[in-house]
A and B are shown apart, each in its own frame.
Chain A
């Protein structure tokens, strides 16, 4: 948890003080890459909660999903087809699914811990 707060603070400060901006024409692709990265992040968190986290799977998914999503958006622009919508829908759905599973896992863990404590008492 401390690591996440630390990452959040460093990320915000670094983002604000970095001397460059994302060019406006690439802004759309970066947005899609962020959604894909968020999906991977929540997937990783879920895997960690399920005790089956794998670094290689997480990092490869994190990078590849972001790149492929941005590439899809770019390709869609070139073809005149809103392909980025596909990425938004897929990653958006998965983010909500992961969040729901994580919520359940956290709740179950919390309830189990409480039951254990009650049994010990």
Chain B
């Protein structure tokens, strides 16, 4: 009888021990994760966390400021890049490396029968047009670039080795009014052509296309 009584008590003890161990297994990892076990510890823990939060907020503020600074710098850089690109495209156009569209002048030059126009006439014309602010010039669809060369080849004109014949059609894109006035100036190109008896027609076109072809 006594053994039976002790058995029940020991059995209850066994159940309690099993429950205690299971509880231990559940709680220990939790305590390791959370840290504080009492309200006092929790308050300290909370304060530490608050301090950490404050310092992190300050850090975030600093980093935000840095981001703003870097954005400003990159914007400045972007502006610089933009103006540089504009400059490059302007020079590409002037050098004849890039096709150009826009308003300009169309100059039709028709010499008399058997009349030979000297190469200097065209060199003067091209120089006048450059002086007037032309962005692109072509003669009979041959683009005049930074290294183009003109010379006389018998009765024909050679533009960087390509022979062109009369009638000549010179196209120039740029400020039309200035270009026109440069040509029509007293003693200028128009007058020279009239004296030589060449038929000259200057007309303003709003939409002109001069394709690339500067490099020979």
Smallest CB separation, B137 vs chain A (Å): 85
Asked if B20 and A15 sit within 8 Å, CB to CB, the answer is yes
Given A10-B14, A41-B16, A16:B25 Cβ within 8 A: yes
**Most B Cβ at <10 Å: residue of A4, A7, A14, A24:** A7
| C-alpha spacing A3/B17, complex, angstroms | 13
Q: Chain B nearest CB: distance from A85 CB in Å?
A: 14
Q: Considering the complex, which residues of chain B in the window 85-119 have a beta carbon less than 8 Å from any beta carbon of chain A? A: none
Whether B8 and A34, one on each chain, are in contact in the complex, defined by CB atoms closer than 8 angstroms, is: no
Subset of 22 A-B contacts with CB under 8 Å:
A4-B9, A10-B17, A11-B14, A11-B21, A12-B17, A14-B18, A15-B19, A15-B21, A21-B22, A21-B25, A22-B26, A27-B23, A27-B26, A27-B27, A30-B23, A34-B19, A34-B20, A37-B12, A40-B12, A48-B5, A48-B6, A53-B5
CB distance from B164 to the nearest CB of A (A): 93
Dominant secondary structure of chain B at its interface with chain A: helix
Does B9 lie within 8 Å of A41, measured CB to CB? yes
A11 → chain B, closest Cβ, in Å? 3
Query: How many contacting A-B pairs (Cβ < 8 A)?
Result: 92
Please list the residues of chain B having a beta carbon within 8 angstroms of any beta carbon in chain A: 4-27, 30
Q: How far is the CB of A22 from chain B (nearest CB, A)?
A: 5
Residues of A close to B30: CB separation below 8 A: 24, 27
| Chain B residues in 8 Å Cβ range of A24 | 26, 30
Query: A21 contacts which chain B residues (CB < 8 A)?
Result: 22, 25-26
A55 touches B16 (CB 8 A): no
A18-B5 in contact given A4-B13, A27-B27, A40-B12 (Cβ < 8 Å): no
Of residues 36 through 68 on chain A, the ones whose CB sits less than 8 Å from some CB of chain B are 37-38, 40-41, 44-45, 48, 53, 55, 58-59, 62
CA distance A16 to B6 in the complex (A): 25
Docked pose: A24 CA to B20 CA in angstroms: 14
Task: List A contacts of B16 (CB < 8 A).
Answer: 11, 34, 37-38, 41
Q: Which residues of A sit under 8 angstroms from B6, Cβ to Cβ?
A: 3, 48
What chain B residues lie within 8 Å of A7 (beta carbons)?
A: 10-11, 13-14, 17
Contact check, B13 vs A11: say whether CB atoms are below 8 A apart.
Answer: yes
Chain B residues within an 8 Å CB radius of A8: 13-14, 17
- Complex Cα gap A13–B30 (Å): 22
Instruction: Please give, as numbers and ranges, the residues of chain B lying within 8 Å of A58 by CB-CB distance.
Output: 8-9, 12
In the complex, chain B residues whose CB is within 8 Å of the CB of A3: 6-7, 10
Complex contacts, B23 vs chain A, CB 8 Å: 22, 27, 30-31, 34
> Cβ of B12: which chain A residues have Cβ within 8 Å of it?
37, 40-41, 44, 58-59, 62
Expressed in whole angstroms, the Cα–Cα distance for A3 and B4 within the complex equals 11
